[in-house]
Structure 1
Amino acid sequence: MQKTLYLFASGRLRRKDNTVCLESENATKYFPVASLRDIFVFGELDLNKKLFEFMEEQEIVLHFFGYYGNYVGSFYPREHYNSGYVILRQAEHYLDGARRLELARRFVEGALANILQILRYYQNRGKELAGSIESISRLLEGSLPACGRVEELMAVEGNAREYYYESFNVILDKSPFTMPGRSKRPPTDPLNALISFGNSLIYAKILTEIYKTHLDPRIGYLHSTNFRRFTLNLDLAEIFKPVLADRVLFHLLGKKMLDLKDFEQQGGAYLLRERGRRLYVETLEEKLQSTFHHRRLRRNVSYQTLLRLELYKIQKHLMGEQPYKPFVSRW
């Protein structure tokens, strides 16, 4: 089974025979490439052309994160799986306004449905969330079907997330973390820093999975395709941020595994310290490798596999084989 390699140490990353070698002040470590799906780089690393050639050969994606834990960019190796026919169908669905709107609507439907699952879970555990649930349900069932433009869908999704993030203060009422409002670049409080860090990981995780399919990550539907390099991963992330990133966040804070000491302030920005980042990615990996019973497939699948399955569903939609329906978690 392939896995993700998370690198927090600073040093030099290079090829050594059929391994990736990390040389740092404290140690030299070797990682067999046969077991690697992708690499997440958080430390300050020196890399050379020979390493990138090796990554391309082995079809390993590298994702780079900045000092604040923010996503910086990816080394996306030469596409080995891209299909010209699939890319043409992607483009057709983007250029046709009605077909683009339909796919974009599905992404927002999935996002709002999964957000509601989170809120109902905590409502069943005594949290006063009826108002948030009612407001988001009204957007999902009333406003969303009436949207005639992608910009309107984005506005509905934005309004729903505003209600959702307000509910964080109810869910986390006995913790020192509060949500004064969503702030991204930079995050201006610890909770926003944690949200942004988790979302960045999900964007990168999905980008790696797209690389293993015939789809082109540059053609998205909810997020406009333009000079920005990748957008399809942002579309799909709307569905999976509640399922993965937010559930990890609530687990870590609910179990008091993180506290305010795991964050530091740099000017007007907050960032998650290394201990917190390590703990977050460990918990996320546990979640990704955990399994659940897939109703349609009638077997257990991992959440890591689920990401790939969702992309296959999008591909079938583009091919005209089966209309796309987003994954909605039971919890």
Structure 2
Amino acid sequence: MTELLRTLFATTPGTSLHLDGDALRIAHPDKPGRHLLPLIRLDHIVAWNGVSLTDDLVHRCAADGRTITWVTRNGRFLARTSGSHTGNPHLRLAQVRTHDNPEARLAFAKTFVAGKLHNYRQLLLRAARDTTGTRQTRLRDIAENHAGALTQLADATTLAEALGIEGRAARDYFQGLDQLAPGVATGRTRRPPTDPVNCLLSFGYGMLRVAVHGALEQVGLDPYIGYLHGIRPAKPALALDLMEELRPLLVDRLVLTLLNRGQITDRHTETLPGGAVQLTEDGRRLFLEHWSKARDRTWPHATLGRDIPAALIPLVQARLLARHLRGTADAYHPWTTT
């Protein structure tokens, strides 16, 4: 049995987090009272701009190996602490050597892309089963394009070719967003997002990045040395690699569900003077509530041969990746569903 520790999302400006014995105390000027959470039940704290943490709490979390992540109001990563560094240097050497081996790097890159394309295809086919007419035809056409992309990917002989296949498939998918959630804008916009659906996707991807980054560090991998995304200054390339196979079902599916059920409304987003769209305080609270519930949902895991909670999938995949790099597993298999 695996106990799922919890992540505390501290989003409200003016909130301060304090150490109170073996508990975390939450304080806010407008909410008097003593709100305590036992530290033993927390494995991660995510703090938004405007939330402060006392030094003694940060020091205690570092000593316990409890991670703290700071993000912007729109969920973009700012900084992270995780205590003293741990990990196996031999594993990191294997990670670097694999990056420097063009054939091995290409194999990993193709695997990450294949996982992403497969899961997007499953998302499209499931949506097609729930509708009829032109919308169903369009969804099936995009899914068929993804099937073709998977065939092309298997024959790719260079990283640039694999990236091109992934890019074309991604454009097909995002151009069909209005078929997955009627009435939403099509196309992917980011930095900044300029419509509610892209705002939600960016926010969700930010939360997924936090989870994947932590999972890689936990198993001793360097999040900044990737294969599909290579090495990019200040970018956690391996975290971005591993996110690819997880985005469709852990983020996109949740965002589309919230939109199709009408749970996200105009009051949950706001447009800034420059045209950027961000979640309101209520919007962040609503999304994180559903994000936390979705992390408890169990999914089948073919490699393990059993169902596991969504919250554990990044950690399990990071461990499988480490096993392959160490040479104790013949291959790395992305997490996919049928």
TM-score norm. by structure 1 comes to 0.92
Alignment of 1:13-32 (within 5 A): 13-25=17-29, 26-27=31-32, 28-32=34-38
Shift of 1:67: 2.4
205, 224, 227: which one aligns with 2:230: 224
Alpha-carbon separation, structure 1, partners of 2:172 and 2:235: 30
TM-aligned CA deviation for residue 43 of structure 1: 4.6
Structure 1 equivalent of residue 150 of structure 2: 140
Given the superposition, is the C-alpha separation of residues 292 and 134 from structure 1 closer, same or farther in structure 2, using an over 3 Å criterion?
Answer: closer
Q: CA deviation at 1:200?
A: 0.7
Residue 223 of structure 2 is aligned to residue 201 of structure 1: no
Report 1:161-200 matches (<5 A). 161-173=170-182, 176-179=183-186, 181-200=187-206
Alpha-carbon shift at residue 48 of structure 1 (Å): 4.0
Write the mapping of 1:254-265 to structure 2, written as runs, cut at 5 A.
254-265=260-271
State the 4+ residue runs in structure 1 displaced beyond 6 angstroms. Answer: none
Letter in 1 for 2:325: L
Aligned residue in 2 for 1:298: 305
Counterparts in 2 of 1:286 and 1:269: CA distance versus 1, 3 Å: same
Once the two structures are aligned, what percentage of the paired residues are identical? 25
Distance 2:115 2:216 in 1: 18
Is this contact kept in 1: 2:177–2:185, CA < 8 A?
A: yes
In 1, the alpha carbon distance for the partners of 2:336 and 2:300 equals: 13
Question: In the alignment, is the contact (CA less than 8 A) between 2:64 and 2:83 conserved in 1?
Answer: no
- Please state if 1:158 is matched with 2:167: yes
What SS does structure 1 have at the residue aligned with 2:333? Answer: coil
Partners of 1:226 and 1:191 lie apart in 2 by: 27
3-state SS of the aligned residue for 2:176?
helix
Structure 1 partner of 2:279: 272
Query: CA shift at 1:11, angstroms?
Result: 2.7
2:224–2:235: 8 Å Cα contact kept in structure 1? yes
CA 251–294 in structure 1, closer or farther in 2 if over 3 Å, else same:
same
TM-score, normalising length from structure 2? 0.91
Supply the distance in 2 between the matched residues of 1:40 and 1:327 (Cα, whole angstroms). 25
Structure 1 residue 39: Cα displacement:
1.1
Contact in 2 for aligned 1:288/1:303 (Cα 8 Å): yes
SS in structure 2 of the partner of residue 212 of structure 1: helix
User: 1:172 touches 1:178 (CA, 8 Å); kept in 2?
Assistant: no
* Partner-residue secondary structure (3-state), 2:233: coil
Moved more, 302-311 or 89-98: 302-311
Q: CA deviation at 1:239?
A: 0.6
Contact 2:112 2:334 survives alignment (8 Å): yes
* Structure 2 Cα separation of the partners of residues 74 and 84 of structure 1: 21
Name the residue aligned to 1:3.
6
Q: 2:235 and 2:64 mapped to 1: Cα distance?
A: 22
Q: How many residues align?
A: 325
Q: Which amino acid aligns with 1:5?
A: L
Structure-2 residue corresponding to 1:329:
337
Partner secondary structure for residue 249 of structure 2: helix
Structure 2 partner of 1:72: 78
Which residue in 1 is equivalent to 2:315?
308
Which residue type is aligned with residue 280 of structure 2?
R
Partner residue in 1 for 2:117: 112
Aligned residue among 45, 51, 71 for 1:45: 51
The residue aligned with 1:247 is 253
- 8 Å CA contact 1:210, 1:216 repeated in 2: yes
Q: What is the deviation of 1:229? A: 5.0
Partner of 1:56: 62
Alpha-carbon separation, structure 2, partners of 1:70 and 1:309: 24
Q: CA deviation at 1:36?
A: 0.8
Aligned with 2:327: secondary structure? coil
The one-letter code sitting in structure 2 at the alignment partner of 1:209 is: A
Structure 1 regions of 5+ residues with no counterpart?
A: none
- Kept in 2, the 8 Å contact 1:41–1:65? The answer is yes
Where 1:192 maps in the other structure, the secondary structure is helix
Distance 1:58 1:238 in 2: 30
Letter of the 2:286 counterpart: L
Q: CA RMSD in A?
A: 1.7
